[in-house]
Amino acid sequence: MRCTIYNDAKAFYTDTYDVLIRHEAQNVIPLGNIIIGNEGKDKTGRRDPVNWFMATVSDDSRILLTAVMTPPHNLTFYATDNKNDDAALQCLLESIINNGIRIPGIMAEKSLAEMFAQACSLKYGMTYKINKNQRIYELSHVNKEIPSIGTVRLATKNDMSFLPYWMKGFDSDCFGDSLATSGNISDYLYRIDRLYILEDNGMPVTMAKISRELQAVCVVGLVYTPPYFRGKGYATSCVAAVSQIGLDKGYKKCVLYTDLANPTSNSIYMQIGYKPICDSIEIKFNWRISGAK
């Protein structure tokens, strides 16, 4: 059993792409990152591979575990074909600790993430907490019975009068805080034609985005309706419309993540036609290990 740490994003892409693509919908986050690293077109902030942690754990014949972290975000990892291997996890963990890599947290398929966190706790006395229980859904057909409300259009620069506030509202709802870069994120999203606005009688009421456009799937996310407009079916209509846009672009499936603590959104997405494929959890660590940096 060996752990290989990569300094070359292109080499990492070459070794792991075919492994991750086997479960494309589940692996939209690491796949999106390694594609960015391989293309090397955008090296701003977390998109610069020079700051990444990239690793695989292999036996004599194949890769068993793939891990990538784009600081300041969590480490994401995947057990090949979802076959968890405790020895592979231990190998990855020892490599992380021995190389002084400090990870803020992890996000992975639920059983795999729990195994890793328990190993951290047992071997190093590290404490952790589950930050978010999530479910990954995929959709191949939009339910045609979903009522269509208003019109959906791409965001424009004129929308910057309210988009930073919507972004802060989204951050607050999802993460309990607001990102200082909300305005920059909004600006970036509309510039790459991925952020959509639902208008009702000319009034912007909901937003959603398409991102991580991969081989056969795209991701629908950043769904937000300001409190005043909630309870009117806007989010349902917007997500249905944006999902259909994704399918019309030629993607076979749309993927989205939900917070299991929000049963309303989970119910809405299933009504639209989304079906669960696996559960994922986000775990935060309390680092008290000498040498971890």
Confidence of residue 264 (pLDDT cuts 50, 70, 90): confident
Residue 179 has pLDDT above 60, yes or no: no
Query: What's the average model confidence in pLDDT over 80-92?
Result: 95
pLDDT tens for 191-250 read 667 899 999 999 999 999 998 889 999 999 999 999 999 999 999 999 999 999 999 999
Taking the domains of the chain in order of start, what are their residue ranges? Answer: 2-133+281-286, 151-272
Confidence of residue 291 (pLDDT cuts 50, 70, 90): very low
Q: Which CATH superfamily is domain 151-272 in?
A: Gcn5-related N-acetyltransferase (GNAT) (3.40.630.30)
Query: What's the average model confidence in pLDDT over 145-165?
Result: 93
Query: Six-digit token pair at 250?
Result: 């030629």
CA dist., res. 56 & res. 15, Å (int) = 9
- How many other CB atoms are found less than 10 A from the CB of residue 241? 21
Whole-prediction pTM = 0.88
Residue 284 has pLDDT above 70, yes or no: yes
What's the fold here for domain 2-133+281-286? Answer: Aminopeptidase (3.40.630)
Confidence of residue 122 (pLDDT cuts 50, 70, 90): confident
CA dist., res. 82 & res. 37, Å (int) = 24
2-133+281-286 and 151-272 share one fold: yes
CA dist., res. 42 & res. 268, Å (int) = 35
Give me the pLDDT at residue 81, please: 96
CA dist., res. 211 & res. 214, Å (int) = 9
Among candidate residues 255, 253, 251, 223, the one with its CA nearest the CA of residue 238:
223
Residue 89 has pLDDT above 80, yes or no: yes
Query: What's the average model confidence in pLDDT over 72-84?
Result: 95
pLDDT tens for 9-62 read 999 999 999 999 999 999 999 999 999 899 887 666 677 888 899 999 999 999
Confidence of residue 293 (pLDDT cuts 50, 70, 90): very low
What contacts 24+ positions apart, CB below 8 Å, involve 67-74? 67/92, 68/12, 68/30, 68/33, 68/34, 69/103, 70/33, 70/46, 71/46, 71/104, 72/46, 72/104, 73/46, 73/104, 74/103, 74/104, 74/105, 74/106, 74/107, 74/282
> Of the ranges 91-105, 148-162, 195-209, 279-293, which one carries the lowest mean pLDDT score?
279-293
- How many other CB atoms are found less than 10 A from the CB of residue 59? 13
Residue 262 has pLDDT above 70, yes or no: yes
Q: Strand 217-224 and strand 253-259: pairing?
A: parallel
161 contacts: CB under 8 Å, gap ≥ 6: none
CA dist., res. 62 & res. 59, Å (int) = 6
Mean pLDDT of the chain: 90
Among candidate residues 178, 176, 182, 180, the one with its CA nearest the CA of residue 162:
182
CA dist., res. 49 & res. 261, Å (int) = 33
Query: What's the average model confidence in pLDDT over 183-198?
Result: 74
CA dist., res. 98 & res. 96, Å (int) = 6
What is the dihedral sign for C-alpha 12, 13, 14, 17?
positive
